[in-house]
């Protein structure tokens, strides 16, 4: 064991050196700070594809992060193991006095951190976590009577009244880089292949967006043929950018863009106050009585973009090929699965979790429950998107659709798997029956 006492900063969903809350506090703790990252086998072993681009993105980011630290005379220690085993090795190798990390809000992460905190206590080390993913977390934004908000609009109003310069201040980690653990021995990073994954030639979206996009966001965000959205989701998901920095800029440019950032806090707040959604339950529990059809053949047609509804098929094909789906199209696609086909929203949630580059449990769960009518939505359950009307409104010239469904006007394109009017009436009937059934 190395005898010199140290602190450890554990990178997770915060893969950057600048404006990193946990890293800042670690560097100010007074002890040399050893940065680490763990390729968690609990997570990796559950991924279905060896070409999961999210792992590639993390790997590329870790390589860059390590290079930055090497230039500062430090290093990034990268482990490929379960967190429990990784920390057992670390405690055997170093005299660790403090562990620093940024807080995570998902069920797996909460349980993981609880285990590591117990292990730290056994080794007389402290375990310290900080807010970094959100502007406001937990019960920081509640109603005047102390109860949590369950609808976005009033939550967002309160959120904005509470926003101030303090909440978006930057953490100047760079002022304390001299406290990084100094070493000339550079530890190797596991290759992508040794992790069980393959590299692709995929070009990830930039974390830099132009001011013009944010200025025009309100007018262009709903039109999928226009490149009018930021594509920052993957960077927020893995913390390669600072939420504080983006909120600070958005607050002065576009209220609509700012709202999109507030949604992230809102859904994490829902996880905190309503842990049942972390357990796969509907936010509105009565909706768990719905008798889903769950037709597996129809589900596969939806998954492969062969429903005969062009905008739905375009969205799914875009997702399958790029790991991204335009947000307006996400709503249409999710509504179609849950209400036209009466397939359990959890099936769609799981499919998106497998495919989305920017997959985030709270936002994915919240979006799917919203679409199914069982989530945080003030509107009643009978909101059912009409794909044809949505197309006429947001892709009238079929520019988006034809990019992903080039066979649209040929005999190769399938007929609709269900009639819209029939599906709408069936959905209303099934929902009404479920919600009128007493407990």
Domain ranges, residue 344: 279-430
Residue 182, in any domain of the structure: no
Residue 437, in any domain of the structure: no
User: Which residue out of 68, 106, 263, 354 is catalytically annotated?
Assistant: 263
pLDDT tens digit sequence for 309-363? 999 999 999 999 999 999 999 999 999 999 999 999 999 999 999 999 999 999 9
pLDDT at 208: 87
Residue 205, in any domain of the structure: no
347 assigned to active site: no
CATH number of 59's domain = 3.40.50.620
Q: Are residues 307 and 407 in the same domain?
A: yes
87 assigned to active site: no
- Check: CB of residue 400 under 8 Å from CB of residue 224: yes
370 assigned to active site: no
What is the distance in angstroms between the CA of the first residue and the CA of the last residue of the chain? 60
What's the rounded Cα separation, in Å, for the pair 300 and 306? 8
User: Which residue out of 70, 295, 320, 327 is catalytically annotated?
Assistant: 327
What's the rounded Cα separation, in Å, for the pair 386 and 205? 31
Residue 199, in any domain of the structure: no
pLDDT tens digit sequence for 78-99? 999 999 999 999 999 999 999 9
Residue 195, in any domain of the structure: no
If one counts the domains in the chain, the total is 3
Q: Are residues 87 and 99 in the same domain?
A: yes
Beta-bridge partner residues of 35:
9
pLDDT tens digit sequence for 387-438? 999 999 999 999 999 999 999 999 999 999 999 999 999 999 999 999 987 6
Residue 175, in any domain of the structure: no
Half-sphere exposure of 184 (CA within 13 A, CB side): 0
302 assigned to active site: no
Residue 312, in any domain of the structure: yes
pLDDT tens digit sequence for 4-63? 999 999 999 999 999 999 999 999 999 999 999 999 999 999 998 999 999 999 999 999
Q: Are residues 239 and 315 in the same domain?
A: no
Q: Is 120 helix (H, G, I), strand (E, B) or coil?
A: helix
Q: Are residues 150 and 61 in the same domain?
A: no
Q: Are residues 284 and 426 in the same domain?
A: yes
Q: Are residues 13 and 84 in the same domain?
A: yes
What's the rounded Cα separation, in Å, for the pair 202 and 56? 9
- Check: CB of residue 384 under 8 Å from CB of residue 335: yes
Global pTM? Answer: 0.95
User: Which residue out of 140, 174, 292, 320 is catalytically annotated?
Assistant: 292
User: Which residue out of 260, 278, 298, 302 is catalytically annotated?
Assistant: 260
Which phi and psi (to 5°) does residue 6 adopt? -140, 165
What's the rounded Cα separation, in Å, for the pair 109 and 107? 5
The string over 210-239, giving b where at least 16 C-beta atoms fall within 10 Å of a residue's C-beta and e elsewhere, is eeebbeebeeebbbbbbebbbbbbbbbbbb
Q: How far is CA 301 from the centre of its chain?
A: 26
pLDDT tens digit sequence for 119-178? 999 999 999 999 999 999 999 999 999 999 999 999 999 999 999 999 999 999 999 999
Q: Are residues 7 and 62 in the same domain?
A: yes
CATH number of 267's domain = 1.25.40.80
Residue 284, in any domain of the structure: yes
292 assigned to active site: yes
Task: Indicate the pairing of strand 94-102 with strand 77-81.
Answer: unpaired
Q: Are residues 290 and 417 in the same domain?
A: yes
User: Which residue out of 87, 302, 347, 368 is catalytically annotated?
Assistant: 368
What's the rounded Cα separation, in Å, for the pair 357 and 180? 31
| CA-CA-CA-CA torsion sign (364, 369, 370, 376) | negative
Q: What is the average per-residue pLDDT within 100-123?
A: 97
What's the rounded Cα separation, in Å, for the pair 323 and 53? 8
263 assigned to active site: yes
- Check: CB of residue 31 under 8 Å from CB of residue 97: yes
Residue carrying structure tokens 């919203």: 370
Q: Are residues 242 and 285 in the same domain?
A: no
Burial (0-12, 13-18, 19+ Cβ within 10 Å), 380 = exposed
């Amino acid at each position: 064991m190395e005898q010199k006492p140290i602190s450890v900063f554990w990178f997770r969903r915060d893969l950057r050196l600048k404006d990193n809350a946990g890293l800042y506090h670690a560097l100010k703790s007074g002890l040399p700070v050893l940065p680490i990252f763990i390729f968690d086998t609990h997570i990796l072993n559950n991924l279905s594809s060896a070409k999961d681009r999210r792992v590639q993105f993390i790997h590329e980011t870790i390589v860059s992060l390590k290079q930055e630290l090497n230039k500062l005379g430090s290093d990034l220690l990268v482990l490929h193991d379960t967190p429990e085993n990784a920390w057992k090795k670390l405690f055997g190798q170093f005299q660790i006095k403090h562990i620093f990390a940024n807080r995570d809000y998902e069920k797996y992460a909460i349980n993981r951190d609880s285990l590591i905190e117990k292990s730290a206590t056994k080794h007389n080390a402290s375990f310290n976590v900080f807010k970094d993913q959100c502007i406001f977390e937990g019960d920081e934004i509640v109603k005047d009577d102390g109860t949590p908000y369950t609808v976005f609009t009033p939550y967002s109003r309160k959120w904005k009244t509470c926003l101030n310069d303090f909440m978006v201040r930057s953490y100047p980690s760079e002022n304390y880089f001299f406290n990084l653990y100094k070493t000339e021995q550079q530890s190797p990073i596991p290759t992508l292949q040794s992790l069980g994954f393959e590299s692709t030639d995929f070009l990830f979206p930039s974390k830099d967006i132009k001011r013009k996009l944010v200025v025009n966001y309100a007018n262009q965000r709903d039109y999928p043929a226009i490149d009018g959205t930021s594509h920052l989701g993957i960077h927020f998901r893995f913390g390669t950018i600072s939420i504080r920095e983006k909120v600070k800029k958005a607050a002065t440019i576009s209220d609509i863009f700012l709202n999109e950032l507030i949604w992230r806090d809102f859904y994490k707040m829902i996880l905190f106050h309503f842990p049942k959604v972390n357990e796969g339950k509907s936010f509105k529990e009565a909706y768990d009585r719905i008798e889903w059809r769950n037709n597996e053949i129809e589900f596969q047609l939806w998954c492969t973009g062969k429903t005969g509804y062009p905008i739905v098929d375009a969205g799914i094909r875009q997702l399958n090929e790029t790991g991204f789906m335009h947000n307006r199209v996400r709503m249409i696609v999710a509504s179609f699965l849950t209400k036209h086909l009466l397939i359990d929203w959890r099936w769609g949630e799981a499919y998106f979790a497998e495919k989305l580059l920017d997959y985030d449990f709270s936002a994915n769960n919240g979006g799917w429950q919203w679409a199914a009518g069982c989530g945080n939505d003030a509107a009643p359950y009978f909101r059912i998107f009409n794909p044809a009307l949505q197309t006429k409104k947001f892709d009238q010239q079929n520019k988006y659709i034809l990019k992903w469904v080039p066979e649209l006007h040929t005999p190769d394109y399938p007929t609709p798997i269900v009639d819209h009017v029939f599906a709408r009436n069936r959905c209303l009937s099934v929902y009404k029956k479920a919600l009128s059934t007493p407990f």
